Each structure stands twice: as structure tokens, then as C-alpha cells.
Amino acid sequence: MAKTIFEELGGKYERQGDYLIPCIALPAEEEQPIGTWGQRHLDYLKQYRRVTYTNLLTSGRLNTYLAEIDRQAQERFERLIEDMKQEQGITERLKEENGLEWTGRLNNIRACAREIVEREIIYT
């Protein structure tokens, strides 16, 4: 029997009953921690960008890709918060004088920064 292209490229088959099943394994990939931003992007890929998700998964680059997205999103989020705090004059002095106002304004900034990061990085 002639070899298949799969066998010529070094692939092997495993017999299960009457069938020959190709022995296929995903390429090894370095496990990196994925935070909240990476998880959100993963959900987005699975739901709206299935081809991209499948390509990254089968090429063994999904974890690395998500870790990089997570890192970029976290850096952007922190930069946005610091920039907005400076623009709006939210300082430690305000925190000492009126903690409740400081908390409210900072929560507002965090919500705005979260929306910007989601729109720019996560859901694109």
C-alpha cells in the first residue's frame, strides 16, 4: 500500500477497531499566566472570531498571544488611570480631605479606562 502524504511527512496512524486514526498532537507551548484581560479576549475570540481562535489554537500560539494581549491591556489601563488622575487633579491631598469624593472620582476613572481598553484592545 502506498504511503499517504501524512505518512510521508512523518505522521503515524493508530488502529482503533477497523479505522486508522491519525496521531495528532498540538505543538508544545510555554504556559504563561493569563489575567482578566486575556480571558475576556479569549471569550471574544471564541464567540466572534472563531477562525482566528482556531488558527491560534492549532498553531500552538494561543497562550502566548493571550498573555501578550493581557500585558498590553494592563499597561494601557494603568497609563490611562494615571493620565486621567493628573488631568482631573485627583491627588493624595484630595484623598486626605475628602475620601468619599476621591473614591467616587477614582472609580469613575477606572470605569472609563476599562471601557477604553475594552474598545481598543479586547474587542477588536
Asked if residue 109 belongs to a domain, the reply is: yes
Name the amino acid, one letter, at 66. L
Predicted local confidence at residue 1, as pLDDT: 66
Domain span at residue 109?
30-122
Element (H, E) at 93: helix 92-97
Model-wide pTM > 0.85: no
DSSP-assigned beta bridge partners for residue 22 = 13
Asked if residue 14 belongs to a domain, the reply is: no
Asked if residue 62 belongs to a domain, the reply is: yes
Predicted local confidence at residue 26, as pLDDT: 66
| Chain CA centroid to CA 21, Å | 33
Asked if residue 70 belongs to a domain, the reply is: yes
Query: How many domains is the chain built from?
Result: 1
User: pLDDT tens digit string along 69-118?
Assistant: 999 999 999 999 999 999 999 999 999 999 999 999 999 999 999 999 99
User: pLDDT tens digit string along 6-65?
Assistant: 777 788 888 899 888 888 776 677 788 999 999 999 999 999 999 999 999 988 899 999
Asked if residue 107 belongs to a domain, the reply is: yes
Predicted local confidence at residue 73, as pLDDT: 98
Contact (Cβ atoms closer than 8 angstroms) between residue 109 and residue 88: yes
Name the amino acid, one letter, at 7. E
Predicted local confidence at residue 83, as pLDDT: 97
Predicted local confidence at residue 56, as pLDDT: 94
Asked if residue 15 belongs to a domain, the reply is: no
